[in-house]
Amino acid sequence: MRRADRLFRIVEYLKARRETVTAKELGEELEVGVRTIYRDIADLRASGVPLTGEAGVGYLLSPNYVVRPLLFDDEELEALALGAQMVQSWADPAMAQAARRALDRITVVLPDSLADNIRQSTSYAYPSSGKPALQIDFTSLRRAIGTRHLVEFAYIDQNGSSTTRRIRPLAIIFLAPNWMVAAWCELRCDFRHFRVDRMQELVVLDEQFELEPGKTLDDMQRQCEEEFQKKSPSATS
């Protein structure tokens, strides 16, 4: 469970009760240690949540405390609804489901008038017939970025030549209608971008990589900016 989710769950749990709740009980409910609960309680108090009680006795939340939902204006809601549709249309199934869940969570806490704006959105995004077919498990590739696992695959370039690549995946980039993976390529010993639809026989390796200087996403972005500046007209004038 993410820390932000845990803090929200603590508030939910305490608000549903009218008697003090011990740190041990909270820890058992959230499957974390008592010391973690103590730190979370301190952070909640620092952010203004009206908690009474102390360690060893228990905690109580003021019954007048209201967890206020996020409110958006009409255009913000339109953008969220359209963005979620675009993710559902173009991303992998797991990301599409996540987009639907996120939109449902937002909708359920909105006042009815605003929730209707999402349900009756007049902006749409549908899958295109030009969407390239993928031959790999896109979800596995995307998750390998978060877990820093090396991946291997066969890559077919624009000339039809095939090479075997072993990379450190750093980011996923959408350049419609294509998905790209930005990576450190161990074959070329340099940064490379690979079109996901040209990748075959993807294997996520058990081996993880560390963030080494010169091989990170920040380094790649810095290199791209430097190359762009060298090519710009102002750089040669």
**pLDDT at position 235 over 80:** no
Question: Of residues 191 and 110, which shows the higher confidence score?
Answer: 191
What's the rounded Cα separation, in Å, for the pair 114 and 2?
Answer: 28
Q: What is the CATH number of the domain that holds 190?
A: 2.30.30
Same domain assignment for residues 151 and 227? yes
**167 to 159, 200, 208: CA distances (angstroms):** 21, 14, 11
- Answer yes or no: is 69 within a domain: no
Q: Are 168 and 153 in contact (CB under 8 A)?
A: no
Residue at a domain's end among 19, 34, 61: 61
Q: What DSSP designation does 18 have?
A: S
Tokens of 161: 């030549």
205 pLDDT exceeds 60? Answer: yes
- Let me know the angle formed at the C-alpha of 13 by 9 and 14, rounded to the nearest 5 degrees: 120
How many Cα atoms occupy the beta-carbon half-sphere of 190 within 13 Å? 5
189 burial (CB, 10 Å; 0-12 / 13-18 / 19+) is exposed
Q: Is residue 177 part of a domain?
A: yes
144 and 222, same domain (yes or no): yes
Q: Which residues pair with 165 in a beta bridge?
A: 153
How would DSSP label each residue in 30-80? HT--HHHHHHHHHHHHHTT--EEEETTTEEEE-TT---PPP---HHHHHHH
- Record the tokens describing residue 165, joined without a space: 């690549």
Residues 6+ apart with CB under 8 A from 72: 80, 106, 110, 114
Residue with tokens 């108090």: 45
Domain tally, the chain: 3
Q: Are residues 181 and 217 in the same domain?
A: yes
pLDDT of residue 237: 36
Please, what's the b/e burial string for 53-69 (b: 16 or more CB within 10 A of its CB; e: otherwise)? beeeebbbbeeeeeeee
8-state DSSP, 21: B
Tell whether 228 and 145 lie within a shared domain: yes
The domain in which residue 209 lies consists of: 138-233
Average pLDDT over residues 94-102: 89
Cα 123 to chain centroid distance, Å, stands at: 24
In a domain, 130, yes or no: no
Does 97 share its domain with 147?
no
Shared-domain flag, residues 105 and 190: no
In this structure, are 106 and 188 located in the same domain? no
Examine the pLDDT at 234 and tell me if it is beyond 60. no
Would residue 153 count as lying in a domain?
yes
Q: What tens digit of pLDDT does each residue of 126-166 get?
A: 777 778 999 999 999 999 999 999 999 999 999 999 999 99
> What's the pLDDT score for residue 70?
55
Instruction: Answer for the pair 131, 90: CB distance below 8 angstroms, yes or no.
Output: yes
